[in-house]
Amino acid sequence: QSITEFFGEYGSGKSQLCHQLAVNVQLPPERGGLNGAALYIDTENTFRIERIMQMAKHVGLDPDEACERIIYAEAYNSDHQVLLLEKADRVIKENNVRLIIIDSLTSHFRSEYVGRQNLPERQQKLNKHMHKLLKLARAFNAAAVVTNQVMARPDEFFSAMAVLPVGGHVVGHVSHTRIYLRKAAGRNVRIARLVASPYLPEGEAIFRITENGIEDLEQEK
Ligand code: ATP
Ligand code: MG
């Protein structure tokens, strides 16, 4: 019933995580799932059914069934993205959707509303869009996950976090949980840093992106 945001630079694993979550939500609760379907709103055309099949196989789900339990929609622009979510109530209810993914939340908004003069309108639309997402998550007892790109911080040249998520305070305030993804040394190794949570302290976890999907590296540390 809340929104989790993954932000990070290109290739940091945001979309890979979304794929993995769309599979994992289908697992029974004792295996960390919600026994439900996923709604996947894709704005960058990076969703790959082959990847879902690989991941599904690895967790012991029937690959075809796993694909059928992911309701996929491509958003062509920000208005379309907003509309897809506005009309999602029925599809969520009828398919027992327990996870709503928007990958990426901000890409269309960022490319369509360029320049300072368009910023207020962009932020207002983004705010409304996120509140609709929150409403759906609450109404249908679902998890919501969004991805977000980062931009360089003009004021911070030497900082542990020299990047900032796009969307400013609007996205930051409506996302309850924010996780910063970055590349690390080692083949396909990534670090996920929890930077905001209503009930957990800041912390980091290491994972690897493999053929099988997202694999925890915590035990090997
Ligand atoms: P963007 O901001 O461009 O959308 P992203 O954060 O969504 O980037 P992903 O697409 O999730 O990035 O991650 C891409 C990375 O995932 C690739 O660089 C590759 O290292 C890894 N990857 C993708 N598929 C596989 C696979 N089948 N096996 C191993 N690694 C993979
Ligand atoms: Mg991506």
pLDDT at 221: 44
Asked if 196 contacts 6 with a C-beta cutoff of 8 angstroms, the reply is: no
Give the binding-site residues of ligand 1, using a 6 Å CB cut-off: 8, 10-16, 44, 46, 149, 188, 209-211
Return the ligand 1 atom nearest residue 104 CA.
Answer: 4
Average pLDDT, stretch 190-217? 95
Q: Please work out, in degrees rounded to the nearest 5, the angle formed at the alpha carbon of residue 88 by the alpha carbons of 170 and 45.
A: 75
The residue-averaged pLDDT of 69-97 equals 98
Question: What percentage of the chain carries pLDDT values higher than 90?
Answer: 86
pLDDT at residue 187 in the model: 92
For residue 173, pLDDT beyond 90:
no
**Integer Cα distance of 174 and 150 in angstroms:** 17
Top mutation candidate among 12, 16, 107, 148 for ligand 1, by most atoms within 8 Å of CB: 16
* Sign, CA torsion 181/183/188/192: negative
Nearest atom in ligand 1 to the alpha carbon of residue 149 is 2
DSSP-assigned letter for residue 101: E
Tokens representing 165 are 């998520």
* Residue range 32-79, pLDDT digits in tens: 999 999 999 999 999 999 999 999 999 999 999 999 999 999 999 999
How would DSSP label each residue in the chain? --EEEEEESTTSSHHHHHHHHHHHTTS-GGGT--S-EEEEEESSS---HHHHHHHHHHTT--HHHHHHTEEEEE--SHHHHHHHHHT-HHHHHHTTEEEEEEETSSHHHHHHS-SGGGHHHHHHHHHHHHHHHHHHHHHTT-EEEEEE-EEE-TT-SS-TT-EEETTHHHHHHH-SEEEEEEE-SSTTEEEEEEEE-SSS--EEEEEEEETTEEEE-GGG-
Nearest CA to ligand 1 atom 22: 209
The yes-or-no verdict on residue 156 having pLDDT over 50 is yes
pLDDT at residue 160, as a whole number: 56
Contact call for residues 23 and 56 (beta carbons, < 8 A): yes
pLDDT-based confidence at residue 161 (cuts at 50, 70, 90): low
Q: Which residue among 188, 190, 208, 217 is best mutated to probe the pocket of ligand 1, counting the most ligand atoms within 8 A of its Cβ?
A: 188
For residues 143 and 100, the answer to whether their CB atoms sit within 8 Å is yes
Q: How far apart are CA 194 and CA 197, in angstroms?
A: 7
Question: Is pLDDT at 158 greater than 90 in this prediction?
Answer: no
pLDDT of residue 21: 98
| Averaged confidence pLDDT in the chain | 93
Ligand 1: residue of 58, 110, 209 to mutate (most ligand atoms within 8 A of CB) is 209
Q: What is the pLDDT of residue 155?
A: 67
- CA–CA–CA angle 35, 200, 131 (5° rounding): 65
Write the pLDDT tens digit of every residue in 116-155: 999 999 999 999 999 999 999 999 999 999 999 988 766 6
| Phi-psi region at 93: left, alpha or beta (left = phi > 0; alpha = psi -120 to 50) | alpha
pLDDT of residue 162: 63
| Residues flanking ion ligand 2, Cβ below 5 Å | 14-15, 46
215 CA → ligand 1 middle, Å: 13
